[in-house]
Amino acid sequence: MTIPLPATAWRAREAAHAERADALTAGHRARAARGEKHPIEDFLFTYYSYSPAVLRRWHPGADIELLDAAGEPRASWRWYSPGATPGGLVVDRAGMQREKAPLLTTVERILRSTAARPGSFGCFGLHEWAMVYRQDEHRHDVPLRLGRSGTDAVVEAGELRCTHIDAFRFFTPDAVPRNRFAPTRETQPDLEQPGCLHAGMDVYKWAMKLGPLVPGELLLDAFELARDIRLLDMQASPYDMRPWGAEPVRIETAEGKAEYVRRQRAFAERSNALRGQVLDAAGLTPAADRVPA
């Protein structure tokens, strides 16, 4: 059953979304125009490779019929089809489910299993340290806050327990055997857990992959979560990010570990809430389990 949305209402939502997206991407777009880079904020556009223009495109989500929209550019967008009302448009959920079944299954499995698993809060962000362990060359052209020997000492004094394949795959050769787990793409649904910062950032990726099934407002919520997580990820990293306004979270100290875990737990709660919303919006939550709006 679709819900009709008058043109005045959906155009207002579309405009508000564009304004919010523009505000969130203003810094990145200005730097790109000047040929400048920001090692913290640009990550969400380089690693995930979704442009500000894609983030700016608003979708109402599934089961919403946009009235008087047939003459709009979105009528030619993929996964839009005529609605029940003349001139109306709806997202073709059934078509997506047929053509994108493997993707939807993967996204559902990862989001659902991650949300259902207890969070692990003892990694202290050492995945970033493992990416530079015993290496002279690093992924970021930023000085190490403790120098190479000091950085290596933190890794050796701690315990690597990274569960996320897309962090683990960047570990240095010497760091790999020190990790408690050996994540692979195949075991990702079995290892992902809500305490992982990168799994939290990935909620944005999964929401983006679901395209028009996810309302634009929810997509921007996921982007904001990823942005906030990225800041902590770099604050707790071995890099000196103070030139970019990021004071270090010194996870080599008891105080730094406590701050990291406190913020990590808050992100786990936010990410799990968004996982549920994404599943529900995309129709990947069984009807019996859905929470009324």
Q: What is the pTM of this model?
A: 0.94
Rounded to the nearest integer, the mean pLDDT of the chain is: 94
Query: From CA 63, how far away is CA 48, in angstroms rounded?
Result: 28
Render pLDDT for 89-143 as a digit per residue (tens, 0 to 9): 999 999 999 999 999 999 999 999 999 999 999 999 999 999 999 998 777 789 9
pLDDT at 290 exceeding the cut of 90? no
Partners of 64 in the β-ladder: 3
Q: What does the pLDDT read at residue 289?
A: 46
Residue type, 220: L
Query: From CA 275, how far away is CA 111, in angstroms rounded?
Result: 6
Render pLDDT for 180-191 as a digit per residue (tens, 0 to 9): 999 999 999 999
When mean pLDDT is compared across 33-42, 233-242, 276-285, the lowest value belongs to: 276-285
- Which segments of 8-88 are extended strands (E)? 64-66, 80-82
Token pair listed for 177: 């055997």
What is the average pLDDT across 213-238? 98
Q: Measured at the alpha carbon of residue 265, what is the angle toward residues 215 and 185, in degrees to the nearest 5?
A: 65
Query: From CA 18, how far away is CA 127, in angstroms rounded?
Result: 35
